[in-house]
Amino acid sequence: MSKVLAKVGDRELVQEDLQDFLASMPPEYAQQLAGLGEEVLVEELINQELIYQDALAKKLDESAVFKLEMDKLAKEVLKGIAINEVLQKAEPTEEEARQHYEENKELYVEPEKVASSHILVDTLEKAQEVKRLLDEGASFSQMAMEHSSCPSKENGGALGLAERGRMVPEFEDVAFALELNEISGPVESQFGFHIIQVDNKVPAGEKSYEEALPEIVEALRSGNQQELYTSYMEELREKFPVTK
């Protein structure tokens, strides 16, 4: 049996009422309210129930305004049910998805990526000194931990894999031009001076069917929904003549 949180008039408010109350709110507001604790939530639930019972006592449910609003709500609910009934047929089949993939492989390409590490300093002179030490055999990760001003120094300067468009242009142009394990000279950007090392290079290539499947399903579903909606509208215009 559900826990009774409060009693308003003859009505008991239980845990399910509180859950329904939260579910009816915009997620951001529900999260904010939930953070205030159950006692505050229950008080607000009681407030809402008091308003509702007062409205019933005043027979506002028999008013013209209420009936008009209910008619509007019923219309929107019915429209939603009708269109959902049509669009639920939009989900692509496995056969459709595989055929689409085979015919459109060029659309599903994994872009070229590079994994880089860097040492960020604030002056050209310091960058040149760091590069000199690296050329003499110093450990890149150790130099990053000792000299870099970027938080990545905690990981030896490692930034991980990134595709084009994810880095500042000056950095990106050099990172993608370097060979594997090659170390650049000083590269200036808005953040300072970088010494860059390429740790891994992943060439562009086709995605497998499994990798591309989420995109394929979304593309086919969207296209199917548009076709179904257009067909539905044409069918309705024949069924219910429209004049302008």
Give yes or no for a contact between 14 and 5, defined as CB atoms under 8 angstroms apart.
yes
Per-residue pLDDT band for 1 (boundaries 50, 70, 90) equals: low
In angstroms, rounded to a whole number, what is the distance separating the alpha carbons of residues 29 and 151? 34
Per-residue pLDDT band for 3 (boundaries 50, 70, 90) equals: confident
Residue in the block written with tokens 């394929």:
216
CATH number 3.40.50.300 given to 112-203? no
Mean pLDDT across 86-99 = 94
Read off the pTM: 0.56
In angstroms, rounded to a whole number, what is the distance separating the alpha carbons of residues 116 and 179? 11
Per-residue pLDDT reduced to its tens digit, 154-206: 999 999 999 999 999 999 999 999 999 999 999 999 999 999 999 999 999 99
Identify the helix (H) or strand (E) that includes residue 104.
none
Quick one: DSSP state of residue 96? H
The answer to whether residue 40 scores a pLDDT higher than 70 is: yes
**What per-residue confidence (pLDDT) applies to 203?**
93
Mean pLDDT across 209-231 = 96
